[in-house]
């Protein structure tokens, strides 16, 4: 789930500057204040003045509605601020042209975040500079960690990358990365993937965490290519044997630039994991199943039939990605680990890999392998 709204704005804003410094006077009026013009520096000045007043136990309301009207944007969660907002400006080269863009980040409490990307342009009829808003991104789901950004250099240019929270629950978290193409006509999302997450349902006897790490591939004659290293670590709880050690799986997802679509698209032929499988590991759109009835306790783990409602299809993906090691356990002599595996498989759908492991569990050990 992507919890952001993005919009491109290519209209000019009527602020004229002779230099890069904003010298506007305060717009104070009674107990309220508003920016005099839609400059990223003026917005930052007014918002942070209100925040400083709030820290001194004085409420100084900021009305931003006029700014959003001038920028042709909906106010969203930032129509007004009463000391609960903060503004920061970052300078990055994003559009491939000389000079850096100004990235304004607005945050409100621990809930909302808005990024606005401005550039300065010189009109033909006048030597004066004006601000142009290239676009904005809203992210309204920041329960445990506020959205953040970075600039990635790949394929000979810079990309604006936003990381934001996309899922949460009891023992579950998910964060995603979205890459944006920023140019003089605006900005648009061109790549999205699950960047990190974890599921730790102790009652299920299995926890896992994953991380997606992108890197650009140098292909002088081919299209731009991003290689995503998708690494998953699983832990089976409740055992003191070697079975309690981590299962570590590493796969690769390849994304290539599609000129017609103007974005990176998934290349299934060169990838060692599918998009559906990555979504299954990340538990996209999973919901807690609520209270459970008394479960079955095996070793140090407790199994609940309804826990699948919380972890989605992650159980099946664990089996698919670790079938060789699970077969080794099924064919081995560790009865405690095999007992755990039998109960765990009861929670899984009847996929071919599950059936293969169940057959191995029913096979008797060769006489030469039996303990005396």
Span 97-136, pLDDT tens digits: 888 999 999 999 878 999 999 998 877 777 778 889 999 9
If one compares 36 and 125, the residue with the highest pLDDT of the two is: 36
pLDDT at 23: 27
Q: For residue 368, what are its two tokens?
A: 């030469």
The span from the CA of 162 to the CA of 167, in Å, is 15
| Helix H or strand E encompassing 336 | helix 335-345
Rounded to 5 degrees, what angle do the CA atoms 87, 111, 282 make?
120
| Residue 101: predicted pLDDT | 95
Residue 241, pLDDT > 80, answer no
pLDDT for the residue 367: 52
Dihedral sign, Cα of residue 362, residue 365, residue 370, residue 371: negative
Indicate the pLDDT class of residue 352, thresholds 50, 70 and 90: very high
Give kind and range of the element (H or E) at residue 65.
helix 65-70
- Calculate mean pLDDT across residues 226-245: 74
Tell me the average pLDDT across 285-304.
Answer: 46
Any idea where the domains of the chain sit in the sequence?
A: 1-145
Looking at per-residue pLDDT, the higher value among 238 and 142 belongs to 142
Considering only CA atoms, which of 20, 145, 32 is closest in space to residue 89?
20
Q: What are phi and psi of 69, to 5 degrees?
A: -65, -40
- Dihedral (C-alpha) 290, 172, 350, 244: value to the nearest 10 degrees? -110
Q: Lowest-pLDDT range, 59-73, 94-108, 356-370?
A: 356-370
State residue 251's pLDDT score: 95
- What is the model's pLDDT at position 307? 53
Can you tell me the mean pLDDT for 246-274? 93
Distances (CA, A) of 238 to 53, 206, 230, 297, 330: 53, 9, 26, 10, 18
> Mean pLDDT throughout 272-286?
81
Q: What is the C-alpha to C-alpha distance for residues 193 and 266, in angstroms, rounded to an integer? A: 10
The half-sphere exposure of 265 on its side-chain side, counting CA atoms within 13 A, is 10
Summarize pLDDT for 214-223 with one digit per residue, the tens. Answer: 999 877 777 8
pLDDT at 159: 96
- C-alpha–C-alpha distance, residues 252 and 96, integer Å: 29
Nearest to 39 by CA among 153, 129, 142: 129
Top pLDDT among 206 and 16 is at 206
- Could you tell me where the beta strands, DSSP code E, fall in the chain? 4-8, 12-17, 32-33, 61-63, 80-81, 85-92, 101-108, 112-122, 129-139, 148-154, 157-169, 172-183, 186-199, 206-217, 225-236, 247-258, 263-266, 296-298, 301-303
Choose between 31 and 355: higher pLDDT: 355
Determine contact, residues 206/316, Cβ cutoff 8 Å: no
Band (pLDDT 50/70/90 cuts) for residue 225 is: very high
> What residues form DSSP beta bridges with 85?
108
Alpha carbons 78 and 37: distance in angstroms, whole number: 16
pTM given for the model? 0.81
Higher local confidence (pLDDT), 207 or 80 = 80
**Per-residue pLDDT tens digits for 164-185:** 988 877 778 889 999 999 998 8
181 class by beta-carbon count within 10 Å (0-12 exposed, 13-18 middle, 19+ buried) = buried
pLDDT at 301: 46
Q: What is the C-alpha separation between 16 and 341, in angstroms, rounded?
A: 69
């Amino acid at each position: 789930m992507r919890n952001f709204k993005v919009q491109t704005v290519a209209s000019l804003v009527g602020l004229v500057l002779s230099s890069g410094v904003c010298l506007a006077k305060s717009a104070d009026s009674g107990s309220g204040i508003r920016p005099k013009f839609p400059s990223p520096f003026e917005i930052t000045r007014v918002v942070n003045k209100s925040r400083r007043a709030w820290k001194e136990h004085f409420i100084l309301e900021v009305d931003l509605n006029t700014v959003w009207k001038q920028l042709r944007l909906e106010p969203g969660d930032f129509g007004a601020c009463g000391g609960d907002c903060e503004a920061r400006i970052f300078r990055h080269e994003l559009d491939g042209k000389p000079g850096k863009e100004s990235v304004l980040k607005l945050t409100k409490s621990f809930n909302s975040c808005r990024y606005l990307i401005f550039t300065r342009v010189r009109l033909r009829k006048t030597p004066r500079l004006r601000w142009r808003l290239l676009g904005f991104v809203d992210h309204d789901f920041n329960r445990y960690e506020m959205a953040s950004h970075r600039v990635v250099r790949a394929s000979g240019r810079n990309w604006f990358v936003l990381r934001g929270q996309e899922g949460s629950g009891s023992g579950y978290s998910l964060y995603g990365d979205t890459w944006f193409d920023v140019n003089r006509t605006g900005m648009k999302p061109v790549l999205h993937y699950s960047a990190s997450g974890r599921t730790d349902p102790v009652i299920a006897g299995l926890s896992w965490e994953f991380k997606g790490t992108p890197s650009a591939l140098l292909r002088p004659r081919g299209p731009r290519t991003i290689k995503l290293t998708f690494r998953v670590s699983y832990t089976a709880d409740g055992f003191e044997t070697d079975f309690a050690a981590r299962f570590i799986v590493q796969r690769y997802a390849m994304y290539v630039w599609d000129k017609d679509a103007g974005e990176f698209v998934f290349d299934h032929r060169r990838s060692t994991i599918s998009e559906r499988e990555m979504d299954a590991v990340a538990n996209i759109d999973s919901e807690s199943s609520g209270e459970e009835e008394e479960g079955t306790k095996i070793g140090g783990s407790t199994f609940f039939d309804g826990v699948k409602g919380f972890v989605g299809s992650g159980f099946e993906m664990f089996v698919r990605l670790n079938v060789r090691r699970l077969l080794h356990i099924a064919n081995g002599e560790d009865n405690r680990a095999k007992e755990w595996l039998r109960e765990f498989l009861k929670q899984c759908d009847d996929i071919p890999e599950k059936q293969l492991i169940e057959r191995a569990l029913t096979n008797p050990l060769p006489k030469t392998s039996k303990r005396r």
